[in-house]
Amino acid sequence: MSARTIRIASRDSQLAMVQTHWVQAELKKAFPEIDFVVETMKTQGDKILDVALAKIGDKGLFTKELEVHLLNDTADLAVHSLKDLPTNLPEGLMLGCVTEREDPADALVVHEDFKDYQLETLPKGTVIGTSSLRRLAQLRYHFPHLEFKDVRGNLNTRLRKLDSGEYNAIILAVAGLKRLDMADRIHQAIPAERSLHAVGQGALGIECREGDTATLEVLKAIEHGPTLHRALAERAFLRDLEGGCQVPIGVNTTIADDNLTLVGMVASLDGKQLLKDTVSGPVSDAEALGTQLAKILRGKGAQAILDEIFAQIER
């Protein structure tokens, strides 16, 4: 009989389950004497599929129900796509671990009729599906001749809508497609010059209770230091701008010789304004770099853009 059981909370979507079972297997490898039990549930973001994400409100859209289980002590840890985890967590909870990042790029996935095109060569009026304001704003900025349409549902649902001809192309995360063994659907990995990725995209964030030293010790087995530093910089940048996952804020981070470089972007929804800048410094200053970059962009006018977006969303 196991000396200990650790309860893992997860959304019940296909991608969430693949990610959670990976975490479960990696922890079991490191701690074979512990039972790791997965408990699944639906979040608000999983249930409301006929409304654009930005209109629902993004604070904890895919995380709140899992956090309730942590706070009620009916789960010990919760596995999230880090990009879905708000930068300000409920009192009593903390980001306990960040796993090694998969490719954080966005992917162009096309209908069969558009297989001979790249993003840069798509003809005027091509209909592209995305539920992300970040992707929408950047692509409108670079490709104003294309048309954009909201698309909701899990990854398989979105692919079905694409293949049925409802869209000519859709934008998805490279990481999600790879984790679901659908890398063959990646027509083009969109370069960062065209679409900076979401904060935390491609990494998993594992949330737990503050002060739960036993669980935190276990999570060290799957922590990835470089990804953690990149995530801390990105999340500090987002937190300082007070932007949720449904605001057009994009990032890209790299680490070389203990030096972290963070690129950040804020864009207007119509794609007519796009502010971008870069900071670099020691990885030990990751969060300070994120805050510094936010202040630079705010000085360039980012706050006015964000205020207008918040007003539009509320309308």
List, by residue number, the catalytic residues.
84
Report helix, strand or coil for 126.
coil
Note whether 122 and 115 are within 8 A (CB): no
**From its phi and psi, is residue 242 left (phi > 0), alpha (psi between -120 and 50) or beta?**
left
Supply angle C-alpha 188, 251, 170, rounded to 5: 30
Note whether 295 and 240 are within 8 A (CB): yes
The residue among 207, 195, 79, 210 whose CA lies nearest residue 146 is 195
Supply angle C-alpha 274, 203, 178, rounded to 5: 95
Strands 77-81 and 106-110 turn out to be unpaired
Strands of the sheet containing 147-149, edge to edge, are: 147-149, 127-129, 169-173, 106-110, 188-189
Residue 165's CB is within 10 A of a number of other CB atoms, namely 11
Q: What are phi and psi of 198, to 5 degrees?
A: -75, 155
3-34: string of b/e by CB count within 10 Å (b at 16+)?
eeebbbbbbebebbeebbeebbeebeeebeeb
CA distances from residue 46 to 116, 152, 165, 270, 307 in whole angstroms, order as listed: 34, 10, 24, 27, 28
Write out the H or E segment, with its range, that includes residue 276.
strand 274-282
